[in-house]
Chain A
Amino acid sequence: MITRMVPRLLKHICLRFVTNLFPAPHMPPSLTDALAEPAALTPPVPVGQRFRGRLNYDRAKCIGCRLCLRVCPANATDYIPEEKKILIHNDRCCFCAQCTEICPVKCLTMSGDCMISSYARKESVVTDTGPVQTDVKA
């Protein structure tokens, strides 16, 4: 039966392919080996201007006021009383950017980094990323 869908479907055959085959076009024989070579992977789609990714934390600038702990909805920030500094658990963070807004010295910023999954728990803890980088937004 010819319905209105048929011409649509025929049109779609000649359309451009839009899916980004991330991280690889086909399932590699060994996923572990493939992931060990990031250069061979298909890069992800670039993130938008206002994308909020992993937090950057300028540890030296932090004054230990604990305001970021007060607003964090996910309790992703921990205070280290001995050092009067914080650390951020990325795996708990919901990327709301509330802490970057309240921080009085602006030592917390959102980066555009979205590839933050990891098998190791320790890798998703941010302790210091150095002075504020250029890829950050307010």
Chain B
Amino acid sequence: MSTTYKVPIGPVHVGLKEPVTAWLELDGERIVGARVRPGAIHRGIEFMARERNPIQVIYLSERICGICSFSHVLCFIRAIEDLAGMTVPVRGQYIRTLVLELERVHSHLLWAGVACYTIGFDSAFHLGMQLRERVMDILELLTGNRVNYGVATFGGVRWDVTPELAKAMREMIRYYRREFTPFRDIVMDDPIAHARMRGVGVLTGEEAVRYSATGPTARASGLRIDLRKSSPYEAYGDIPVEPIVPQDHFGAARGDVLDRFAVRVMEVYQSLDVLEKVLDGLPEGPYAAEANLNKVLASLKKAEGTGWGIIEAPRGDDTHVVHLKGGDENVYWWKVRAPTYANAVSWPLMFRGNELADAPLIINSIDPCISCMERMMVTDGRGDPRVVTRAELLERCRRKTFDMMGRRA
């Protein structure tokens, strides 16, 4: 007869960067069951948005996440542009793509470093952090800040890419092509790193579909999904991006932590290629549609409707839905679905059969951003706690898709 024990990882744990609790059921060292309990870091950002106008909410949405802050900003801005019917000059779109990819590079490098730290490979962690400094410097040169750039605005961007900046970026791309490969080889050829990551936290392709994994987590399980390809936005229409899946590079997709590591590492190279193409194709012209903020505010005050913004953030699909009411200056409601929310559902599957010591690594392997994920629960106020079944959810989802297709046709 075996006895199982319940052990919590978190909410505060040395292996976690943000508070989340995973209640693990252990049989000896082996995890036989898991239950993830978020809820320790809800900040009520959507509520704060209701007493601010869209321009103020740009900076609020920037603070949803410190790492993929530009993704959230852009997603929010695209939602507003969608509902107000604003257009963005091509140069603005290219600069947005540029910042998105710079952010992807820095996010993946940070994650790769932290993953090494989680398996106790501290020297590689420091190497990763050292590599990341270069892209942070470029972001600082371009936007003035290392995080929370404040670079996007409705109808374009706020700062231009000067020729000197473009030169510095090309130099950065060369630096990474030269210096990133040793880092990749150090980790991917290391027998201990292999032992810690191979076969750990497996999520099969079929499970990834069933549990709606997104971004690198889904791609590591072999799913060819990338919004930059399936629904191009900004400059991705001009710059084709192929989803990176492990079977193309290593023969098979195992969906374990090493595959997630490999996918992110390959995506850094892909981002460098995209950055180069953006710099090559950067068109001349204005980078913002409307410089007068008063006019922007006035036009947004008149706008009414619901807008959507969906982009491929470094961690997966990021979705923002915003509603503005005509005549009301403030945001009426705003819904954020951060990628971690979709990926965290797969945690219990990844834990199966692994050892307790691997739990922090598995949690970190989806690159979680807990505070981005923690969103409000909706109640209709009548206290009717109803569970929506999977079939019903699918039905609603299809209906909504048809509605949207009809609207855009």
Contact = CB atoms under 8 A, between A and B. Distances in A.
Interface of A: 3-5, 8-9, 48-52, 67, 70-74, 94-98, 101-102
Contacts of A67: 294
Interface in B98-148: 123-124, 127, 140-145, 148
B129 to A, nearest CB: 12
Interface in B264-300: 293-294, 297
B53 interface: yes
B59 A8 contact: no
B123 A71 contact: no
Nearest to B144: A50
Given A4-B186, A5-B124, A73 B140 contact: no
Contact of B190 (A4, A49, A71): A4
Given A5-B190, A72-B56, 9 more contacts: A3-B190, A8-B127, A8-B182, A48-B140, A50-B140, A51-B144, A73-B57, A73-B59, A96-B59
A49 B143 CA distance: 9
A129 to B, nearest CB: 19
Interface string B218-259: 000000000000000000000000000000000000000000
A4 B59 contact: no
A102 B297 CA distance: 11
Contacts of B60: 73
A73 B294 contact: no
A8 B130 CA distance: 13
Given A50-B159, A51-B144, A71-B293, A98 B55 contact: yes
Nearest to B164: A49
B58 interface: yes
A72 B185 CA distance: 47
Interface in B186-220: 186, 189-191
Contacts, number: 68
A101 B59 contact: no
A50 B144 CA distance: 4
Interface string B45-65: 000000011011111100000
User: Chain B contact residues: over half helix, strand or loop, or mixed?
Assistant: helix
A96 to B, nearest CB: 5
B150 interface: yes
Q: Which of B145, B159, B297 has the most CB of A within 10 A?
A: B145
Given A71-B55, A73-B58, A98-B59, A51 B140 contact: yes
B150 A96 contact: yes
Interface string B25-61: 0000000000000000000000000001101111110
26 contacts: A3-B189, A3-B190, A4-B182, A4-B189, A8-B186, A48-B141, A49-B141, A50-B141, A50-B144, A51-B140, A52-B145, A52-B150, A70-B297, A71-B53, A72-B56, A73-B55, A73-B58, A73-B59, A74-B59, A95-B150, A97-B150, A97-B158, A98-B56, A98-B293, A101-B293, A102-B293
Contacts of A8: 123, 127, 182, 186
A3 B144 CA distance: 39
A102 B59 CA distance: 15
A24 B60 CA distance: 35
A73 to B, nearest CB: 4
Contacts of B297: 70-71
Nearest to A72: B56
